[in-house]
Amino acid sequence: MTEKMASASPSYRLTSLSRTRQIVFSSPLVTISTLVLIIIILSALLAPWVVPHDPVRLTPSVRLKPPSDLYWLGTDAFGRDLFSRIITGGRISLVVGVAAAIFAVALGLLLGLMAGYIRWVDAVLMRMVDGLMAIPSILLAIAIVSLWGASLWTVLFAITIPEVPRVVRLVRSIVLSAREEPYVEAAIAAGSPTTLIMRRHLLPNTIAPLIIQGTYICASAILTEAILSFLGAGINPETPSWGNIMAEGRIYFQINPGIVLWPGLVVSVAILSINLLGDAVRDALDPRMAKRGIER
Amino acid sequence: MSLLEISGLRIALNGDEDKQVVKGLNLKIEPGQTMCLVGESGSGKSLSALSVMGLLPNVLSPIAGSILLKGENLLDASAHRMRSLRATSMSMIFQEPMTALNPVARVGQQIEEVLEFHSDISQSARRSRVKEMMEAVHLPDVDKMYNSFPHQLSGGQRQRIMIAMALIMSPQLLIADEPTTALDVTTQAQILSLIRELREEQGAAVLFITHDMGVVSEIADDVTVLKLGEVMETQSVDNLLRYPQTDYTRALLQSVPSQVPRPERNKTSEGIVLATNDLCKTYDSAGFLKKARQVKAAQGVSISLMKGRTLGIVGESGSGKSTVARCIMRLIDPTSGSIMVGGRDIATLSQKELKPHRKKIQIVFQDPMRSLNPRIEVGQSIIEGPLNFGVPRNTAMARARELLELVGLPASAVDRFPHQFSGGQRQRIAIARALAMDPDVLVADEAVSALDVSVQAQVLDLLAELQERLGLGILFITHDLGVAAQICDDVLVMQNGQVVEYGPAAKVLGAPQQDYTKALIAAAPGRHWDFANFRPFAEAAN
């Protein structure tokens, strides 16, 4: 079975190397975004080995210094190296972004499949989803964090939950249209159990849209984490993250604006890159684009 | 000078010489004449028409030839010039009037828009002109209908609106691209006579595109037959139907199902494989703060199907024929009545209790593009059912290979994906999948309606052959009386969820008792022609 899937025709496979290459090199902007993302991810992963200074060591003698040969982006109010802190802060931000995307997609997929295929689940679940969507996501996240206290897990939970309803709705709408397809009815007529129908005939339809949705969630989670940290409802301020670097720096904005601007720039660039990559994946998977590709 | 003269027209994909979809089309239409462009899917008939209107999709372009409208070459005309020619000199109606009309604009205003762009008359004059035109296409209650939205009209009324829109500037050329294919047969007859009537009144020439030889025999003066972008022959309609010059045309005509019912087969006494008694399906649309509305989709349907025989359910759209099929398959739950399969009533069984009975009755759907999961190999689709019933994978796969050969495909097809097959081949695969369960009954829900007529004939032959070999009882749902006449032993006619007439095919289709059945038969296009024998039925009788 698995061998056969591997030899399968390329048009329905998303992970093949040539396909990835095609997406990455679809436009110069996408290529640059991919490069930027690789640099950000690598430097975050290797942060303990690549940072020039200890990101949490206080050196009061060099407080609020402008950029220099020693401190490339200057120092903050406690004399900590800003460059090292931004690189290290990427770890939290990226972990939160990727993890929130994975959790939200997984949970949303499960609930969406059930809502789309089982009538009574739909009626109950979708009303709860509507309720959840009515609450602004930042407010909901702040409420959750203040309820359970700030830790990596509660922040992650607080960021994931507001993203789930969108995924549920997406999956549900795909399932609702896919379940009307004759091949699903043929499977019912063949006596296939519900779990098999979901796994085999419905779930594959949701993969492509979910990959795209996942990239958007990842970008928005990084931003939400930064906002939460900036508002003081985020992860413990001793652990650097892009958000709390900016939060700490904002009172010194007039003395050393770099403390706010540099992490802000990194957040913007990271989110822009992820969104551009998401758009590129969407264009590559869009059936209309794919059709044009075949005609060529 | 001819009104429209197409010569040596070649249309290619991305301007590539090797990828021609229309290969040297020559065509002449005189004023007041109807030219039918006939061909199966992929013949390039629609593309030819679109190129006249200058509406080809971007990837396609004419690379040679000329299209002269009153002596003016349309291929050289600027976009601005084309815009002013459309509606005033030539106009077009499409297959699906629901999508051709703007769903959020009132139909009267959509017609008026044409006048707004192409004439200078005042608003009140425009409005009265639109109403005149709506009366000319025989729309009822014009004042009210002017303010209707497309979804409030029936399919036939929408197509009349399209025709009114196309003819309001009195163009000399009307292009009709399969204008009746999406319509019911009685509506089709009305639209065809409307097009004939308006052609005579306005003296316009008509370029009529169709795949249906019956429609050709009703409306054409001249016919051009296309195959894969090449002209097979051009003849007057009478000559073409009597003396086709090419093998292709001959085969095409012989594939047209005859309207004469098949002779009755000997009844085998082997018993009833499927029976329903007073089967009903009612949809309730009660909602919060909403008036409860009941739709009776099917009422009091009682049928019995014997082993080795074919029962046809015929009717127009909305007649409830598919509802019956889906109830019998238990894809939807019937409201009342019984469904006896193999001596057991399955109408009220739960999905779990139903499972052992599922294998006795299988279904083949209409759309071959959607009835197979595009993401899994054909073999996996075929063995899914047997695996559910505990057949070992190897045994099931070996059987799948046998079945594919049985339906005329290579056994190696098991490893391929649905998109690698044509529509007819996919329908064969769908039949193989149904047979994999060794059913007693095969339900064919418009199983040949989406296929070209020559492929349709092959699939019908295949079904007949399988029935002969396996003793299948076939429940055949169709809107096409010709197909029903060709393969059914018994016929049930439905209208608005009610059974109109039920009996042996020879009786129901040969000597109908009910007015509706008579009207249905009278509306079938080309019923006077015996296409397979190249002569009208009237001559055969003499």
Average pLDDT per block of 10 residues along chain B, 542 residues long: 91 87 92 92 89 90 92 92 92 90 93 92 93 91 92 90 92 93 88 91 91 92 93 93 93 87 70 92 75 84 92 90 93 93 89 90 91 92 94 95 93 90 92 94 91 90 92 93 90 93 91 92 87 84 61
Residue B222 DSSP code: E
Q: At B102, is the secondary structure helix, strand, or coil?
A: coil
**B191/B204 Cα distance (integer angstroms):** 16
Burial profile B334-370: b = 16 or more Cβ within 10 angstroms, e = fewer: bbebbbbbeeeebbeeeeeebeebbbbbbbbbbbbeb
Q: Tokens 């206290």 label which residue?
A: A149
CB B219 within 8 A of CB B189: no
A189 vs B358, B366, B381: nearest CB: B358
- Looking at residue B110, its pLDDT comes to 94
Give pLDDT, residue B202: 86
Task: Identify which of B268, B358, B343, B310 has the alpha carbon closest to the alpha carbon of residue B472.
Answer: B310
Among chain A, residues having any CB pair with chain B shorter than 8 Å are 4, 8-9, 11-12, 181-183, 185-193, 196, 200-201, 204, 292, 295-296
Answer whether B322 touches A (CB < 8 Å).
no
At position B498, the amino acid (one-letter code) is Q
- Cβ-contact A103, A156 below 8 angstroms: yes
| Range list of β-strands (E), B310-420 | 310-315, 336-341, 344-345, 361-364
A9/chain B closest Cα distance in angstroms: 8
- Other beta carbons within 10 Å of B203: 11
pLDDT of residue A5: 35
Beta carbons within 8 Å of B123's beta carbon, 6+ residues apart = none
pLDDT in the model for residue B7: 93
Contact state of B371 with A183 under an 8 Å Cβ cutoff: yes
CB B237 within 8 A of CB B463: no
Angle between helix B423-435 and B378-388 (nearest 10): 20
- For residue A290, pLDDT over 90 is answered with no
* Smallest Cα distance from A104 to chain B, Å: 25
Smallest CA–CA distance, residue A102 to chain B, in Å, is 24
Distance separating alpha carbons of residues A110 and A104, to the nearest angstrom: 10
Residue A126 distance to chain B (closest CA, Å): 17
Which pLDDT does position B269 carry in this prediction?
58
- Closest CB from B366, B419, B433 relative to A186: B433
Nearest to A191 by CA among B538, B330, B306: B330
From chain B, the residues in CB contact with A295 under 8 A are: 13, 59
Question: Contact, A276 vs A33, CB < 8 A?
Answer: yes
**Whether the predicted pLDDT of A7 surpasses 70:** no
ipTM of this complex = 0.83
Chain A's closest residue to B329, CA to CA, is A189
8 Å CB contact of A191 and B362: no
A186 and B437 within 8 Å at the Cβ level: the answer is no
pLDDT digits (tens, 9 = 90+) for A56-78: 888 888 888 888 888 888 888 88
Q: Which residues contact B35 (CB under 8 A, 6 or more apart)?
A: B27, B28, B29, B205, B206, B207, B208, B220, B221, B222, B223, B224
A190 vs B433: CB contact, 8 Å cut-off? Answer: yes
Q: Do B59 and A182 touch (CB under 8 A)?
A: no
Tell me the Cα Rg of chain A. 23
Is residue A6 predicted with pLDDT exceeding 70? no
Q: What value does the CA radius of gyration of chain B take, rounded to a whole number of Å?
A: 25
Q: How far is Cα B411 from Cα B431, in angstroms, rounded to an integer?
A: 15
Q: Classify residue B112 by its DSSP letter.
A: H
At which residue do the structure tokens 């063949």 appear? Answer: A190
